[in-house]
Structure 1
Amino acid sequence: MKLEIVAVGVQGAAVAAEEGADRIELCSALELGGLTPSQGLMDAAQETVAGRLEIHPLIRSRPGDFLYSGTDLDTMDREIRFLLTQGAHGVVIGVLTAAGEVDIEATRRLAHAALETNPAAQLTFHRAIDQTPDPAAAVEQLVELGFTRVLSSGGAATVGAGIATLKRMVQRAAGRLEVMAGGGLALDDIPALRTAGLSAVHLSAKITVSHQDNSLDSPGHSDPTAYMITDRDVVRAARAAAG
């Protein structure tokens, strides 16, 4: 199975490449659900991985919902063009309507920006798909919009709980689009995902580190020194489990 790892910095990109991941979703601010990485981070990640894996930046101009204004879309259009020009293999995008459906026109605009910049760019629709009424039905829309893959937990809180829907998504895609399982993924889920016909998995593989003295910990006390990095042991175990 293909293995995609979320990388929030050069450290994560290096770990993913060294441990045999096939691609990374590059982003910043994972504690906010992930935001678009800077051009500087994209450049540094490319230099670090040296062509050993694909880099797919997340395009998300702000935290919160997936209902975007005209200025949000304009910002993401620009981010797509800049990052693909820098050499990204594809982009990870997703826009919804107020009713929770895939926003066809807005999504088409972002897809067009990517393919106009690089006709070979891969398009991944992120987990906004899990907020739609029927992720399996939405697969057909993504195929028509030219998407390469969709990241999903099957509309559930975790991949393990969404395997039945993920299987329906694979059946609906019928080889025209890759369904990649991600979101609360446990390594023990991988055999069942393979049986369900999935060929790719996605993990954040994150761990929080801090330089703060733990003796300062107290209820309601936040740690301003804490940040997330990629856990090498989790990536290595995921690679072994995915085969």
Structure 2
Amino acid sequence: MKGILEVCANGYESALAAQNGGAKRVEFCDNLAEGGTTPSYGQIAFAKKNLSIEVWPIIRPRGGDFLYSDIEFELMKEDIKSFKSLNCEGIVIGILKTDGSVDKERTAELIELAKPMKVAFHRAFDMSNDMEKALEDLIDLGIVRVLTSGGASSAIGGAENLGKLVEQANGRIEIMPGAGVNKDNLKTLISKTGAVNYHASAKQFVKSKMLYRNTDTKMGSIDDEYQYELTSTDVVMELVGIINKEINNI
């Protein structure tokens, strides 16, 4: 299996930068500051129309935990139907029960609804009460990939656990390290975990071009609202280069 980079894209411009930098897949998210929520139909429609790489929207109706109400679950199903109509290659989900175990029943329902799209499981996995058990549950369900930091706040911090998960998976499911993956730690992650594919936002801050700035009020909780984050083509190229050198031997 050839190693690839998946980019967590916070919009079409980031997804385009990911494609231009050599990424093979984007996990499409809104609200990265909350860990990612479901992107708009318009963003995904535009991406599917104009991009050639795989587009996998996250299905997450809100930030916070991964225990969803009946209404939230119905919203997730409606979003899946919408993205299926756009012929997305896959979706990314994550649902837990109150005790921290994988909600197998609801996950199975979403997998069935998503067909023929493939389904990956996001970092809700890292919040589970037993990652070894959760991994076996996801394998049984037919999940194709797990995005995980190994239960730590960053992939490099969870590198030892990531290596154990790769061994446990033994090719039955893809373990994809993510959270804080960058040019300074990617080579170490490759050597320590044995994982093939990696996940990164590869983002940089872009300064606002506004000339007039009202500094007396704010629209949200971000400290500096006159800048925003976008994926950088150059950063993506750098990460892809490391993967090619360390895994693909190009």
In structure 1, how many angstroms separate the alpha carbons of the residues matched to 2:222 and 2:28? 30
Q: CA deviation at 1:221?
A: 8.6
C-alpha contact (below 8 Å) 1:160/1:186 kept by paired residues: no
- Runs of 4+ displaced beyond 6 Å: 213-218
Comparing 83-92 with 203-212, which one deviates more in the overlay?
A: 203-212
Could you say which residue in structure 1 is the equivalent of 2:248? none
Matched-pair identity in %: 36
Tell me the TM-score normalised to structure 2 length.
0.87
**Alpha-carbon distance change, 225 to 135 in structure 1, aligned in 2, over 3 angstroms:** same
C-alpha contact (below 8 Å) 2:89/2:118 kept by paired residues: yes
What's the CA shift string for 1:41-84, capped at 9, x where partnerless? 011112231x2x11100001111111001111110011111102
Tell me the SS of whatever aligns to 2:8: strand
C-alpha contact (below 8 Å) 2:166/2:175 kept by paired residues: yes
Could you say which residue in structure 2 is the equivalent of 1:63? 63
**Alpha-carbon distance change, 134 to 213 in structure 1, aligned in 2, over 3 angstroms:** farther
In structure 1, how many angstroms separate the alpha carbons of the residues matched to 2:106 and 2:205? 35
Aligned length: 236
Alignment of 1:156-175 (within 5 A): 156-175=152-171
Q: CA deviation at 1:192?
A: 3.4
C-alpha contact (below 8 Å) 1:10/1:48 kept by paired residues: no
**Alpha-carbon distance change, 128 to 216 in structure 1, aligned in 2, over 3 angstroms:** same
Alignment of 1:1-243 (within 5 A): 1-49=3-51, 51=52, 53-115=53-115, 118=116, 121-195=117-191, 196-211=193-208, 222-243=223-244
Q: CA deviation at 1:227?
A: 2.4
C-alpha contact (below 8 Å) 1:151/1:182 kept by paired residues: yes
C-alpha contact (below 8 Å) 2:12/2:46 kept by paired residues: yes
In structure 2, how many angstroms separate the alpha carbons of the residues matched to 1:27 and 1:87? 17
Tell me the SS of whatever aligns to 1:66: coil
Name the amino acid aligned to 2:173: L
C-alpha contact (below 8 Å) 2:146/2:176 kept by paired residues: yes
C-alpha contact (below 8 Å) 1:149/1:177 kept by paired residues: yes
Comparing 206-215 with 144-153, which one deviates more in the overlay?
A: 206-215
What's the CA shift string for 1:138-161, capped at 9, x where partnerless? 111000011000000000111111
Could you say which residue in structure 1 is the equivalent of 2:247? none
Tell me the SS of whatever aligns to 1:241: helix
In structure 2, how many angstroms separate the alpha carbons of the residues matched to 1:161 and 1:6? 20
Name the amino acid aligned to 1:126: H
Tell me the SS of whatever aligns to 1:45: helix
Tell me the SS of whatever aligns to 1:233: helix
In structure 1, how many angstroms separate the alpha carbons of the residues matched to 2:102 and 2:70? 16
Tell me the SS of whatever aligns to 2:158: helix
C-alpha contact (below 8 Å) 1:100/1:131 kept by paired residues: yes
In structure 2, how many angstroms separate the alpha carbons of the residues matched to 1:192 and 1:8? 26
